[in-house]
Structure 1
Amino acid sequence: MANFQQYRVNGKKFSLKSIKPNDKSERGATKEVDALELAKLASKINALQDILYAQGKHKVLLILQGMDASGKDGTVRHVFSECDPLGIRLASFKGPTEEELAYDYLWRVHKQVPQKGEIVIFNRSHYEDVLIVKVHNWIDDAECKRRYAQINAFEKQLTGTGTVIIKCYLHISKAEQKLRMQDRLNDPTKTWKFNPNDLKERALWPQYMQAYENAMTATSTSYAPWYVVPADSKKNRNLLISRLLLSALKKLQLDYPPVPAEFKTITIDD
């Protein structure tokens, strides 16, 4: 079992340099061992997700943030590879639409939070509204701090009404991002993923690292902590997030709902 505390942002001053993107401590001795472990974790997550949905009591929100090519889509494919789509929902947050801009920035997010029995994965999230907007100076420091407080209040409301929140920053190095972006250009099956605008954001790497540090420091709370996931190794990333999710599901002490008494007397005719 992973020592999650070493990846958790404690809410005090935090530096991303304290966690190495190329760390592989979650991995086993061989690729075969890793593959077997991932399969076991996926099977266990599937079993508990089935009970979660049947019970219809708890709600789980997995937030995935990270730089371009950090592996948000790949994480979803591998962590939930064994899960029945029933009770699993993915919400991706791109640039806001004209309608969304007419409301407060949390409006579009609140509509996507999980209902009872659901696991919802946010591919990017409300944190975009304290990251890209701050890096490009579309909001000032005072507004950014106000949003940190609003996000904390929003997440406290969610957890207070039965939602478990797991926030993961996929910590990729700039060198690894370069390799993955180049691979997208070289591989015809991946070229569709490449966006020239990603290069403009890559040029602002130091500003993004600072924005992430500030945001995680301000919003890693006891009820919704941040975890920094070393993501240069895809298997390391998938193993750690799978373990985080499985641990959270186990803590819910899930159980199938009892059979109603009137059902016990029903006989199905031939």
Structure 2
Amino acid sequence: MKSIDPNNFKVVKKISLKHIPTLLDIKADEDEKEHKLDKVQAKLSNLQDVMYAHNKYGVLICLQGMDTSGKDSLIREVFKEFNPRGVVVHSFKTPTSAELEHDYLWRHYIALPEKGKFAIFNRTHYENVLVTRVHPEYILGENLPGINTIDDITPDFWENRMEQITNFEKHIAQNGTIVLKFFLHLSKEEQRQRLLRRLEEERHHWKFSPADLKERERWDEYQKYYEEAINKTSTEHAPWYIVPADDKEMARYIVAKIIWEEMQKHTDIKEPELDDKIRANFEMYKKELGA
């Protein structure tokens, strides 16, 4: 199995999605990929325990991708060895009436990870410059000053919003949140096959929605806006990684490996030292417990 270098997936210059493969051939069978993932899962689980004790960083994992790109199963498989107290998953759907009474980042801010924990955003604050660009009528529900019709939503509006998102990520990164963003890069043909499986296999029927087909018709628009958002918001403090997603098992391993490698850069994450006075009295505590 070929080795995985996270830097090969990191967005450090302007990218074009149509020139980036959606399938990575690393010469590995299913068992080998599963074995590799198992090893990284165990290391991430141990790291999370140390991070919980260290209690100075939170980790925000952002997952974006077209419908059927495998976000849910990736979360289940990559993080299944975590202590449940150390990881929280948030799935952001249509804003509620209460959320619409605040600015669009509010519901994401209050879902940020506590120190020592991981938070996973399954769909993220980027929906506010993706779905809303394909469906700008959704912006009207935010009841913003000066935005009364779709015609009031100018290109500057989107530029400002992406700048706000970049500033939001910079702010939380400077205050101890490690931000890693993943775009699960799926081909249109693979999406077609996965949608067909939802119709053909009874156990997957519940996943199918006719709305998926409507959104599929807007594929090119989504690709255009994903590309623009990634290019404008991939920064050193909150990088984007483009992960080939036609092979779900491979995508899971790549994401897990990137998280592990990125976390190794934070060499200050260590278990806290035990107080010398407590350590000096270990024998006394043992005798007390023995009695």
TM-score after normalising by structure 2:
0.88
Q: Are 2:5 and 1:3 equivalent residues in the alignment?
A: yes
Match runs of 1:1-270 below 5 Å: 1-12=3-14, 14-25=15-26, 28-138=27-137, 139-253=153-267, 254-264=269-279, 265=281, 267=285, 268-269=288-289, 270=291
Bigger CA drift: 198-207 or 79-88?
A: 79-88
Conserved? CA contact 1:64–1:72, under 8 Å: yes
Distance apart, 1:262 and its partner CA: 4.1
Structure 1 residue runs of 5 or longer lacking an equivalent are none
CA distance in 2: counterparts of 1:29 and 1:123, whole angstroms: 28
CA distance in 1: counterparts of 2:54 and 2:66, whole angstroms: 36
Equivalent AA in structure 2 for residue 67 of structure 1 = M
Equivalent AA in structure 2 for residue 252 of structure 1 = H
CA distance in 2: counterparts of 1:259 and 1:216, whole angstroms: 43
2:145 is aligned to: none
Alignment identity in percent?
40
Distance apart, 1:11 and its partner CA: 4.4
Instruction: Report the 3-state secondary structure (helix = DSSP H, G, I; strand = E; otherwise coil) of the residue aligned with 2:242.
Output: strand
Give 1 or 2 for the bigger CA radius of gyration. Answer: 2
Equivalent AA in structure 2 for residue 80 of structure 1 = F
Conserved? CA contact 1:79–1:238, under 8 Å: yes
Equivalent AA in structure 2 for residue 24 of structure 1 = D
Equivalent AA in structure 1 for residue 274 of structure 2 = V
Conserved? CA contact 2:6–2:261, under 8 Å: no
Distance apart, 1:3 and its partner CA: 2.4
CA distance in 2: counterparts of 1:94 and 1:11, whole angstroms: 30
Instruction: Report the 3-state secondary structure (helix = DSSP H, G, I; strand = E; otherwise coil) of the residue aligned with 2:136.
Output: coil
* 1:159-180 superposed Cα distances (whole Å, 9 cap, x missing partner): 1011111100000011111111
Instruction: Report the 3-state secondary structure (helix = DSSP H, G, I; strand = E; otherwise coil) of the residue aligned with 1:105.
Output: coil
CA distance in 1: counterparts of 2:72 and 2:242, whole angstroms: 17
Equivalent AA in structure 2 for residue 15 of structure 1 = S
Distance apart, 1:31 and its partner CA: 1.9
Conserved? CA contact 1:24–1:233, under 8 Å: no
RMSD after superposition: 1.5
CA distance in 2: counterparts of 1:9 and 1:148, whole angstroms: 16
Distance apart, 1:211 and its partner CA: 0.5
* 1:137-180 superposed Cα distances (whole Å, 9 cap, x missing partner): 33442211110000000000011011111100000011111111
Conserved? CA contact 2:6–2:258, under 8 Å: yes
Instruction: Report the 3-state secondary structure (helix = DSSP H, G, I; strand = E; otherwise coil) of the residue aligned with 1:73.
Output: helix
CA distance in 1: counterparts of 2:233 and 2:25, whole angstroms: 26
Distance apart, 1:197 and its partner CA: 1.2
Conserved? CA contact 1:24–1:230, under 8 Å: no
Closer, same or farther: CA 95–24 of 1 in aligned 2, 3 Å: farther
* 1:224-243 superposed Cα distances (whole Å, 9 cap, x missing partner): 11111000001110111011
CA distance in 2: counterparts of 1:210 and 1:78, whole angstroms: 30
* 1:62-95 superposed Cα distances (whole Å, 9 cap, x missing partner): 1000011101001111111221112111111001
Q: Alignment length, in residue pairs?
A: 267
Structure 2 residue runs of 5 or longer lacking an equivalent are 138-152
Equivalent AA in structure 2 for residue 2 of structure 1 = I
Runs of 4+ with deviation above 6 angstroms: none
CA distance in 1: counterparts of 2:248 and 2:125, whole angstroms: 24
Conserved? CA contact 2:185–2:243, under 8 Å: yes
Closer, same or farther: CA 74–140 of 1 in aligned 2, 3 Å: farther
CA distance in 2: counterparts of 1:116 and 1:6, whole angstroms: 29
